[in-house]
Structure 1
Amino acid sequence: MLIVLLPEQPLLAGATDPALHWWRFEREGRCLESGEDSLNQLRQRFSGERVRALAPASVVNLFRVRLPAQRAAAARAALPYALEDLVSQELDELHIVMGPRRAEGRVSAAVVSHTPMQSWLEAFRQAGMRLEALLPQAALHVEESPDQALLVMPSPWPEQQDQVLVLSAIEEPVLLDRSLASIWITRRLLALEPAEQKLSLAGLSLEELGLTLPDTVEIQAQPVRDQLEPALQRALRNAPPFNLLCGPYAVSMAAPPWRKMRPALIAAGVALALGLAWLTGEHLILAQERDSLRTEIDRLFDRGMPNARRENPAQQFRQTIQGGAQVDPDSGLGPLLHAFFSVLKEHQNAQVSQVRGNLDSIEVELKVASFSELEAIRAGLAAQPGLTENLEGADSENEGVTARIKVQRSGS
């Protein structure tokens, strides 16, 4: 997550891209790094990061008002009219966002002009960055407000050392210039009952603020604590209050559709890569087997048909086997195979398990239904002119008889 602090000056189109303070957090909320870069530089460095921006307190005003309506829809409709006497601009020039109800029953609200809103969003659009939330800077300190009166401390934000953070039990947090702080604080204190006029100072003195207060105001000193890190942690929450990207500026805080599909896309890419690798491996294996088979066919052709010209060995073997039944003793292995299978085709139940041979003889291992069928096959082979057959072995099994027959040319 990338948190960007917007400048007090509007981001004008065509103007120089200013350097913005930023902080980058990991998923668990630990700050990884921070710096100061322009939006274009941030896009180049963190193109895949989710981005939230903080609207400066000098541009966004925070209020608390009483609304009679209890339903959220009715309260949201009545809110602009409750703020009408508190703002100096026309209501149609303002973007008003209703915040949560506070403990005292009043409703919080954030008010900002449409002009800076449009300039901020246009700057992010031109930089090619998707902004998922826009939060008022001062609203991040509301949980640090005291239970009573006022708490004043130096601003924890970078390059805002001339400002003070004023926290109130009954008002929204305010970041003020030190020159204006005395007027604002004095007015808020005098509006309280004498028993409630209390002022806590953390790291500041009355002289530094230019304050001259009556004796009825109780002054307390408090230690200075780091307020920046807790404020940034609140900006990381899943549903932060006062998200200004609502109404006409509404955007979904959900991740883009492609980001939700990223695990599935990665898995699909891995599966596709594995599939391509497997197909490539299979192709190489089949190519090797093809080349080996072609070599073996050529070798068998040269041995079985030594006087024939090799053109298409498989077709030439087929033609030789389908030729006449007469055996030419000098014609190679083909006539032996033809003579054997011409006899075997008369016995449909016989199955050939293995064939081994050379130019002069072949040895066939086959399975037949019975010894009588085996003897019929042997008789058929013996009737072939120019051939002799020998039974090399026979075994009886539950499903038939397994035998090895050797067929060779007469005189071999």
Structure 2
Amino acid sequence: MLIVLLPEHLQPDSPGPVRIHWWHTDRDGSLVDAGHDTLEALHDQYPTERMRALVPPSAVTLYRVRIPVRKASAVRAALPFALEDFLSQELDELHFAAGPRRPDDRVAAAVVEHSNMVFWQELFEQAGWRLEALMPLSELHAELPPAGVLRVQHSPWPTDMPLVIVTAADQEPVMMEESLLGFWLQRRLADRDPEDRILELYGVGAGALNPGGDTQVITGPDLRPELLEPALRRATDTRPVFNLLTGPYASSMAAPPWRKMRTTMIAAGVLLAVLATQFGLETWTLARERDRLQAEINSLFDTTLPTSRRVDPVTQFREALEGGGSSGNGGMGGLLYEVLAASSKDGKAEIREFRATPVDMEIELHVASFAELETIRANLAAKPALRETLQGADSGTEGVTARLKVERSES
């Protein structure tokens, strides 16, 4: 991951390409490489890396306010009005971001101008970057000292002017120029009770600060070499504690919206794959059934119309039947109708097989007895236009199977 620090006092009309300090970290936040270059050059060097940016203290102000509601959306809605008395600008000119709730039950908040947010967005987009997070630099040093202690230490970050970090249990971290520290401390200590006037100085001399005789001063070594890597690890946390990319800036500069829908998209893809497989199986089954029916139609055509050349069996069957019905005694349809009517007159005969031409027909009947067979033959003989011939009959335990030939009479 890449961590970049936005330059202090960066403006849209700043001359020349913007050079930015950057740090390249591995998965656990350990420092791998660092440098000072433009965003475009950094994109050429690390085109696939994820990026997060740090906002210098001159461009963002941190507050801690008491907001009784707990719901995140209610906190965001109430935040501008809770900070209104501390701000000199119009609320609609400012972007508010809610941070974590501190141990004293107050909510950390950051305030930055909309114009800066828009400018930073354009700056990164023009260089081809999409930010995962935009974090206040001071917040990376929010390790809270004991109650009543003001801890002052040098900043490890490369800035235009050397900065010091002031942390306390009852306030958000403050970063300022060391030349302003004495005046700020005098005002800050004056607001504290005497027992809470404990000042820890790490690498910062107490002589020019004039903290007052009732202030307990504790000094220690310069901690700058030990502060950078813990802050970088905090900046690479999976879910940043403080992210300015909220509200109108969340969708434009944060991670692409489709990443949040990956689970839904995967489920939809699986469902589409199942539906496509089911559709394919049904298509294959219907194709097999079509081929089976076509084979049966062809077989029936060859059996029923052995003298006809098979072209379109269904159409040929229809034409043969319609032609037989309309041509009186000369068609196969009329002959078939008369034979079926005579053989099923009493509803007891079963036709197992037949072969027909326009002038004659061979049928295989199954009846219960020879008496029923003779009845059918009598029905056929009663029709003057038909001539019936018994070609054979077999008797079995299940009844009688007979083969008849029926043809039209010449007279």
- 1:16 positional shift: 1.5
One-letter code aligned to 2:167: L
- 1:148 positional shift: 3.0
Structure 2 partner of 1:4: 4
One-letter code aligned to 1:135: M
- 1:96 positional shift: 0.5
1:226-275 CA distance string (max 9 Å, x none): 21111111000011122011101003446976xx89xx9xxxxxxxxxxx
Q: Does the CA-based 8 Å contact 2:30-2:229 persist in structure 1? A: no
Structure 1 partner of 2:156: 156
Instruction: Tell me, in whole angstroms, the C-alpha distance in 1 between the residues paired with 2:216 and 2:131.
Output: 44
- 1:161 positional shift: 5.4
Q: TM-score if structure 1 supplies the norm length?
A: 0.59
CA RMSD of aligned residues (A): 2.2
Structure 1 partner of 2:219: 221
1:60-82 CA distance string (max 9 Å, x none): 10000112223333222221111
Instruction: Tell me, in whole angstroms, the C-alpha distance in 2 between the residues paired with 1:105 and 1:80.
Output: 18
Instruction: Tell me, in whole angstroms, the C-alpha distance in 2 between the residues paired with 1:54 and 1:14.
Output: 19
Secondary structure (helix, strand or coil) at the match of 1:12 reads coil
Secondary structure (helix, strand or coil) at the match of 1:151 reads strand
For residues 385-400 of structure 1, the aligned pairs below 5 Å read: none
One-letter code aligned to 1:21: H
Instruction: Tell me, in whole angstroms, the C-alpha distance in 1 between the residues paired with 2:221 and 2:45.
Output: 38
- 1:145 positional shift: 3.9
Instruction: Tell me, in whole angstroms, the C-alpha distance in 2 between the residues paired with 1:227 and 1:71.
Output: 34
1:71-97 CA distance string (max 9 Å, x none): 333222221111111122111111100
Q: Does the CA-based 8 Å contact 1:11-1:123 persist in structure 2? A: no
Instruction: Tell me, in whole angstroms, the C-alpha distance in 1 between the residues paired with 2:211 and 2:31.
Output: 41
Q: Does the CA-based 8 Å contact 2:182-2:211 persist in structure 1? A: no
Instruction: Tell me, in whole angstroms, the C-alpha distance in 1 between the residues paired with 2:201 and 2:157.
Output: 18
One-letter code aligned to 2:214: T
Answering whether residue 257 of structure 2 is matched by residue 242 of structure 1, we say: no
Q: Does the CA-based 8 Å contact 2:8-2:160 persist in structure 1? A: no
For residues 295-334 of structure 1, the aligned pairs below 5 Å read: none
Distance 1:256-1:158 versus aligned 2 partners, 3 A rule: farther
Q: Does the CA-based 8 Å contact 1:201-1:222 persist in structure 2? A: yes
Q: Does the CA-based 8 Å contact 1:66-1:105 persist in structure 2? A: yes
1:331-374 CA distance string (max 9 Å, x none): xxxxxxxxxxxxxxxxxxxxxxxxxxxxxxxxxxxxxxxxxxxx
Q: TM-score if structure 2 supplies the norm length?
A: 0.59
Q: Structure 2 unaligned runs (5+)?
A: 267-411
One-letter code aligned to 1:222: G
Distance 1:236-1:39 versus aligned 2 partners, 3 A rule: same
- 1:160 positional shift: 5.2
One-letter code aligned to 1:221: T
Distance 1:254-1:25 versus aligned 2 partners, 3 A rule: farther
Instruction: Tell me, in whole angstroms, the C-alpha distance in 2 between the residues paired with 1:39 and 1:13.
Output: 17
For residues 171-250 of structure 1, the aligned pairs below 5 Å read: 171-207=171-207, 210-225=208-223, 226-250=226-250
Answering whether residue 133 of structure 2 is matched by residue 133 of structure 1, we say: yes
Structure 2 partner of 1:36: 36
Instruction: Tell me, in whole angstroms, the C-alpha distance in 2 between the residues paired with 1:256 and 1:23.
Output: 28
Identical columns (%): 45
Structure 1 partner of 2:90: 90
1:81-120 CA distance string (max 9 Å, x none): 1111112211111110011111011111011111111111
For residues 267-282 of structure 1, the aligned pairs below 5 Å read: none
- 1:179 positional shift: 2.2
Q: Structure 1 unaligned runs (5+)?
A: 265-412
- 1:134 positional shift: 0.4
Secondary structure (helix, strand or coil) at the match of 1:43 reads helix
Instruction: Tell me, in whole angstroms, the C-alpha distance in 2 between the residues paired with 1:94 and 1:131.
Output: 20
Answering whether residue 62 of structure 2 is matched by residue 69 of structure 1, we say: no
One-letter code aligned to 1:87: L
Answering whether residue 56 of structure 2 is matched by residue 56 of structure 1, we say: yes
1:354-411 CA distance string (max 9 Å, x none): xxxxxxxxxxxxxxxxxxxxxxxxxxxxxxxxxxxxxxxxxxxxxxxxxxxxxxxxxx
Secondary structure (helix, strand or coil) at the match of 1:124 reads helix
Instruction: Tell me, in whole angstroms, the C-alpha distance in 1 between the residues paired with 2:230 and 2:87.
Output: 30
Q: Does the CA-based 8 Å contact 2:9-2:59 persist in structure 1? A: no
Instruction: Tell me, in whole angstroms, the C-alpha distance in 1 between the residues paired with 2:205 and 2:93.
Output: 39
Structure 2 partner of 1:104: 104
For residues 362-401 of structure 1, the aligned pairs below 5 Å read: none
Distance 1:228-1:77 versus aligned 2 partners, 3 A rule: same
Structure 1 partner of 2:353: none
Instruction: Tell me, in whole angstroms, the C-alpha distance in 1 between the residues paired with 2:95 and 2:248.
Output: 9
Distance 1:11-1:130 versus aligned 2 partners, 3 A rule: farther
Instruction: Tell me, in whole angstroms, the C-alpha distance in 1 between the residues paired with 2:222 and 2:97.
Output: 32
Q: Does the CA-based 8 Å contact 2:144-2:168 persist in structure 1? A: no
Answering whether residue 169 of structure 2 is matched by residue 169 of structure 1, we say: yes
Q: Does the CA-based 8 Å contact 2:66-2:106 persist in structure 1? A: yes
Secondary structure (helix, strand or coil) at the match of 1:250 reads helix
Q: Does the CA-based 8 Å contact 1:13-1:123 persist in structure 2? A: no
Q: Does the CA-based 8 Å contact 1:144-1:167 persist in structure 2? A: yes
One-letter code aligned to 2:140: L
Q: Does the CA-based 8 Å contact 1:99-1:242 persist in structure 2? A: yes
